[in-house]
Structure 1
Amino acid sequence: MTDYEEAAAVRPLTLAWVSRYLEDGERVLKTEALHGGITAEMRRLTIGTQDGSTRDLVLRSFVDPFYTENAEDWLNREAGALALLTGTGVPAPGLVAVDPTAAHCEYPSLLMTHLTGRPVLDDEGLEARVPLLARQLAAIHALRPAERPREYVALTTADTVVTPKGADAVTWAAAIDVIRRSAPSYEGRFLHRDFQPGNVLFDVPPARSADARITGIVDWAATSWGPADLDVAHCSTNLALLHGPGWGLRFTEAYEEAGGVLAATASERLYWQVRDALASSEEVRQVARPWRAAGRTELTTRAVEERLDAYVTALMDALG
């Protein structure tokens, strides 16, 4: 049973579809928008149970026409990843149902279990969180699935990079030349492909940021097979833009300290680190917007561009 009046924020066809996967006597009591995502609309559904208690589910729907073109692929990949991760010890949501072609819903959708915790994007407590992020990513890369996901795809090219206003032209030209090369050979790993603070849920005790613990990893729509360096580079870039270039470099160290294995040579590592940093140059505005919505109001598009420039310079100085 579904309470349509209280759950009106979710479309009727989708609510009817959700109801198929509820237990007898359960109904949707309330919906709440979850913020931070870029490509999909996320909602927490509070489910009333027969005994009077409640439980939560999460509904992921692709409603923006710009993203619905790829929704079927993304949702199928996420559903496959969530099924694969069951029982692995990686704290991922459990798959409840998926409608990748919107056969039953207004929009392509996925229904999953709700995980406790929240993304933490503040500077406070970062020193304690970085090793946790590194250990969690190393554990993901250690998975050996019976069926590999598809090979990674990197869309950025030397011609699509957007050099920030005021950036050092010589440094950026050298960085762009790095990704003109062929990708280095690598030993494949199971990749999240968007592992970064916005997709990691933490439980942080009040006034005890040093005691934070990871409670969940979300957004598995881009799961791929490829070099561990690519996941590490992506998290490094996000940390650099959120907290400063030094934290991007620190994450690479933390990943190795956690037992993760990266490319053998500095030039190979530079390729992956620079490739991800330059990819961010094309979407600074989209990346910065949800960070500001989450409370980091100082991270204007221009501020993030300046951090990206500083990070690319730091990479070229350290590894170039």
Structure 2
Amino acid sequence: MTHDEGTPLRPRTLAWVSQHLRSGERIVRAETLHGGITADVRRLTIGAPHGGTRHLVLRSFVDAHRVRYAADWLGRESGALTLLTATGVSAPELVAVDPTATYCEYPALLMTHLAGRTALHDEGLEARVPLLARQLVAIHAVRPIEPPRTYATLTTADTVVVPEGADAAMWAAAVDVIREPAPPYEGRFLHRDFQPGNVLFDVPATPSAPPTRPAPPSPSTPLAPPHPPVPSAGVRISGVVDWAGASWGPADLDVAHCSTTLALLHGPTWGLRFTAAYEEAGGVLAAATGERRYWQVRDALAASEEVQPVARAWREAGRPELTDRVVAERLDGYLAAVLDALS
């Protein structure tokens, strides 16, 4: 995620943030963090009265279209962050939230800043996939006293975008899969956008690496900063961000989403390998092949609607080879692999 000084905080937002700082603290810097799709995100440097600094992250929904969903997204995220403080899942801590812009110019959420950086390059992937799988198993093991809202899937048979040159018959067969009712499932706590762009890795810092911060909530894939690849030796996950889609639903749905993202980032084989890694880590998926196919196909088809913005985001994040065409071809190959593997 890249950043600059950007514009100063708006007056009401500045006052609101200041009210939630510790005694004597003040905002000494506000960096605009680029790469998000749905929100304006700032990394705030907070100065202590006797020296020293810490960082907070402010997410504001300023786009008129996104503002309509802000209350739901911020409500889900604030609830998830509060829940996760009592678990072993590392996530930002909630500082304050204004989901309806009662105090700020726009709906906003203030949270702590997590150390670490995202990893979107191919290098070190072999070591990262098992870590991602174990982390997702841990998320699904969270048992809230009151489950969050039931998951939502917006893709329909009419919204699927078939890639140019793809096998029309195969895609038609895939679309027929999601025409059927969703299969029964055992509910689990879902992240709902668990994928490499929302996972921070703790690795030795390099002089050329810019500061990082949690990715913004988005129905699309968020970005990572254009920095050197994350090495495989000694790498560990330092936290998971973007809980705006936190939901209650089938574990298969989270697994399918991460599998699709890995397939588009690194090639179709990696999507299938993540599913296997999840089970090897102790995760439990639907027993029936048809049920697994439904969730895997549904998420792959959902990705068809976002090829261009996702590919553009990844290119800006340091993957220039991921053109729209390459990502679409990978999606086509992954869908074929899923249908073949789960026939």
TM-score normalised by the chain length of structure 2 = 0.89
Structure 2: where are the runs of 5+ without partners?
Answer: 207-229
Residues 85-128 of structure 1: CA deviation (Å, up to 9, x unaligned): 11201001000000111111111100000100011101000000
Task: Name the SS of the counterpart of 1:55 in structure 2.
Answer: strand
Counterparts of 1:247-266 in structure 2, within 5 Å, are 247-266=270-289
Q: Distance in 2 between matches of 1:210 and 1:265?
A: 37
1:8 CA drift (Å): 4.1
Residues 202-260 of structure 1: CA deviation (Å, up to 9, x unaligned): 11236842321111111111110000000000000000001000000000000000000
Residues 30-76 of structure 1: CA deviation (Å, up to 9, x unaligned): 12233443211221101001120000000011111121110011111
Q: Distance in 2 between matches of 1:137 and 1:156?
A: 23
**Match for 2:183: what amino acid?**
P
Q: Does 1:270 align with 2:293?
A: yes
Greater shift after overlay, 29-38 or 261-270? 29-38
Q: Does 1:228 align with 2:227?
A: no
Q: Distance in 2 between matches of 1:89 and 1:254?
A: 20
Query: Is the 2:6–2:31 Cα contact (8 Å) retained in structure 1?
Result: no
Q: Distance in 2 between matches of 1:8 and 1:15?
A: 12
Query: Relative to structure 1, is the Cα distance of residues 7 and 121 closer, same or farther in structure 2, using a 3 angstrom cutoff?
Result: closer
Structure 2 match to 1:293: 316
Structure 1: where are the runs of 5+ without partners?
Answer: 1-5
Structure 1 match to 2:145: 146
**Match for 2:269: what amino acid?**
G
Structure 2 match to 1:30: 29
Larger RCO (alpha carbons 8 Å, 6+ apart): 2
Q: Distance in 2 between matches of 1:66 and 1:103?
A: 18
Identical positions, percent: 72
Residues 285-307 of structure 1: CA deviation (Å, up to 9, x unaligned): 22222211111111122221111
Structure 1 match to 2:268: 245
Query: Is the 1:7–1:28 Cα contact (8 Å) retained in structure 2?
Result: no
Structure 1 match to 2:110: 111
Query: Relative to structure 1, is the Cα distance of residues 25 and 154 closer, same or farther in structure 2, using a 3 angstrom cutoff?
Result: same
Query: Is the 2:97–2:109 Cα contact (8 Å) retained in structure 1?
Result: yes
1:10 CA drift (Å): 2.3
Query: Is the 2:148–2:247 Cα contact (8 Å) retained in structure 1?
Result: yes
Query: Is the 2:6–2:32 Cα contact (8 Å) retained in structure 1?
Result: no
Q: Distance in 1 between matches of 2:8 and 2:256?
A: 37
Task: Name the SS of the counterpart of 2:233 in structure 1.
Answer: helix
Task: Name the SS of the counterpart of 2:299 in structure 1.
Answer: helix
Structure 2 match to 1:316: 339
Task: Name the SS of the counterpart of 2:305 in structure 1.
Answer: coil
Q: Distance in 1 between matches of 2:34 and 2:315?
A: 11
Q: Distance in 2 between matches of 1:144 and 1:276?
A: 24
Q: Does 1:21 align with 2:20?
A: yes
Greater shift after overlay, 106-115 or 24-33? 24-33
Query: Is the 2:123–2:231 Cα contact (8 Å) retained in structure 1?
Result: no
Q: Does 1:219 align with 2:251?
A: no
**Match for 1:211: what amino acid?**
G
1:7 CA drift (Å): 7.9
**Match for 1:282: what amino acid?**
E
Counterparts of 1:88-127 in structure 2, within 5 Å, are 88-127=87-126
Q: Distance in 2 between matches of 1:173 and 1:226?
A: 26
* Superposition CA RMSD, Å: 1.4
